[in-house]
Chains A and B, each alone.
Chain A
């Protein structure tokens, strides 16, 4: 009995069981000039779908299945959303693993790697004009959903509380345990804001003194894909602007530079939002060191670099 339970919890039985419980990595070389500072990255690229988005996607899907909105009760019903990003990949993976249909509206300008991955998982992909960007994809989702709402479960990651709850229930508790409660700062970039909201709410319950710092691109026109410049966007329904102790505005180019540095100095090939997170965490680390304080700073390594390797910055000076 006990060994069966161990097999379930430690090994898991299916892809969905492998979501979460990701490693925490020390980024010692990035802060080697700052004695007393520990910088840690939560390796979300280790999730089976390759990104942190496996957590909210599985949380949204599990809730929909439990409510009978998706799955065996309505086997023809398709999960619908507009995303060419990691959430789309997570939905597509879960659709294959749990055998429900997935329909994604994707701008034609999405990278060939992503298109191929979505196809490989068997998701139905509807391409929208590249020039219309994600607006075009969203318009298409609304058109499809408006025409036949009975055919679809509209996942709506921006407005779905199961997004941030995924982090409240899992990621934050893992961070607390992996740092043995020593975490002093938590830093996360915001797209839907789910990662920041969920982790911050739970970490504050565990220790109200933890500084929780959000990060956004410094401009609405940014190379930090998936991240949102809140002042110029209509705010995601799940976002609470009063939660952060502080917000940092991130530039694109230093995030690119940090991606290259993590590859060469730590052997970690991470995506652009992870680079932005680590660069922001380094900024906090330098401030804490300058103030003469010790700190245990945790940030999120949202995904790996493989989906971004055709970006020019890897080879540009």
Chain B
């Protein structure tokens, strides 16, 4: 599967916008991602291994938390995962975008 990395996390993926990951489920794909890029782990997961509550993962535009099997949802080679920080407010990178 292909995982889209949000701008603030690209510092931990050698600036790659997308990363190819193995695994048959969403959870396996995320595990593959953090194994490739260990510095990502603390940003995505709590110390006890739960997805941090402000981290949203979309499977082809569906929020994984609202899918029946959640992170155990099966994925195929062509599936695209997108990681998006919860943005109920604010615009954390406005300055970095508008001042370049």
Contact = CB atoms under 8 A, between A and B. Distances in A.
Interface of A: 82-86, 107, 109-111, 114, 130-131, 133-135, 137-139, 141-142, 156, 158-159, 191-192, 219-223, 225-229, 232-237, 252-253, 256, 271-273, 303, 307-308, 310-313, 316
Contacts of A256: 53
B2 interface: no
Instruction: Bin chain B's interface residue count.
Output: 20 to 34
Contacts of B95: 158, 192, 228, 233-237
Contacts of B8: 219-222, 229, 232
Interface of B: 4, 6-9, 11, 43, 46, 52-55, 65, 82, 84-100
Nearest to B42: A219
Given A253-B46, A313-B53, A226 B97 contact: no
A138 B94 contact: yes
A162 B54 CA distance: 32
A14 B66 CA distance: 43
Contacts of B93: 133-135, 138, 233
B11 A86 contact: no
A19 to B, nearest CB: 19
Given A138-B98, A234-B99, A256-B53, A114 B89 contact: yes
Contact of A156 (B7, B11, B98, B100): B98
B97 A139 contact: yes
B97 A138 contact: yes
